[in-house]
């Protein structure tokens, strides 16, 4: 049992507790300083990584052709869209370029321009960008303004199951035949492929009876856009 001497300041027990508290405070301070240093290191690493990524993006931008629409060079386009829209489009293109180079599958940006296929004058604006490795990106005005890093046309295509695309086109072909039950799919010569826009082309090779009952090798051509498959034609192979 510890006994302190009363009347001579702190007791032994009080002095021990005080030392323990001081030690705890010192340890707490050391821990806090370590945490601060750790956070400083992490912040510096993050800064360096962002700086490196920014340098990488700047290199991807070097040498690309940033198209600007003018009344002199593109009078028809200028007339269709009008001055106000053309100014908006021209302002969107450098923003689109900065977003595309953030995409890991763009090796080097080569070209940025207005998409005539996807855009609707004075209504909907789409900007496309091509990279040297063949990847194409399509961006809406809202995507650009929201800072969304785009997926390439190939990435969008790869998100679909090719067999499902062929199957959807095959079903439309069957419905259009005189003898639907005679439809015989030739999977080896059937395929789906991306185009330079959001349109996907689907080719279905098959054999089927014509109106005279003769079985002929044929090919159906479908397209898909906005998840809607449309049968465009059927021809003899």
pLDDT at 36: 84
Contact 205, 217 (CB under 8 A): yes
pLDDT at 48: 62
pLDDT at 114: 95
Residue 74 burial by Cβ neighbours in a 10 Å radius (0-12, 13-18, 19+)? middle
CA distance to 9, 25, 54, 215, 230, per residue, from 15 (Å)? 10, 15, 58, 105, 88
pLDDT at 38: 82
Contact 118, 139 (CB under 8 A): no
Contact 185, 169 (CB under 8 A): no
Would the pTM of this model clear 0.75, i.e. be above it? no
Contact 118, 99 (CB under 8 A): no
pLDDT at 2: 45
pLDDT at 200: 96
Q: In tens digits, what is the pLDDT along the chain, a chain of 237 residues?
A: 444 444 455 565 767 777 777 788 878 888 888 888 888 777 766 766 666 666 666 677 676 767 799 999 999 999 999 999 999 999 999 999 999 999 989 999 998 999 998 999 999 999 999 999 999 999 999 999 999 999 999 999 999 999 999 999 999 999 999 999 999 999 999 999 999 888 999 999 999 998 888 899 999 999 999 899 999 999 998
pLDDT at 27: 80
Contact 211, 178 (CB under 8 A): yes
pLDDT at 37: 82
């Amino acid at each position: 049992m510890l006994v302190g001497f009363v009347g001579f300041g702190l007791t032994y027990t009080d002095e021990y507790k005080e030392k323990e508290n001081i030690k705890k405070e010192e340890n707490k301070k050391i821990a806090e300083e370590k945490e601060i240093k750790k956070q400083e290191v992490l912040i510096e690493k993050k800064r360096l990584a962002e700086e490196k990524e920014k340098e990488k993006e700047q290199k991807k931008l070097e040498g690309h052709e940033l198209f600007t629409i003018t009344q002199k060079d593109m009078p028809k386009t200028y007339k269709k869209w009008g001055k106000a829209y053309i100014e908006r489009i021209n302002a969107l293109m450098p923003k689109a370029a900065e977003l595309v180079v953030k995409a890991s599958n763009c090796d080097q940006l080569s070209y940025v321009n207005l998409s005539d296929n996807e855009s609707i004058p004075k209504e909907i604006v789409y900007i496309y960008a091509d990279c040297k490795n063949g990847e194409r990106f399509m961006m809406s005005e809202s995507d650009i303004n929201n800072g969304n890093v785009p997926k390439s046309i190939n990435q969008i295509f790869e998100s679909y199951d090719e067999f499902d695309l062929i199957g959807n086109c095959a079903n439309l072909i069957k419905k259009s035949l005189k003898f639907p039950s005679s439809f015989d799919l030739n999977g080896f010569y059937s395929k789906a492929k991306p185009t330079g826009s959001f349109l996907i082309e689907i080719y279905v090779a098959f054999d089927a009876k014509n109106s005279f009952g003769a079985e002929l090798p044929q090919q159906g051509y479908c397209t898909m856009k906005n998840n809607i498959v449309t049968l465009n034609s059927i021809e003899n192979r």
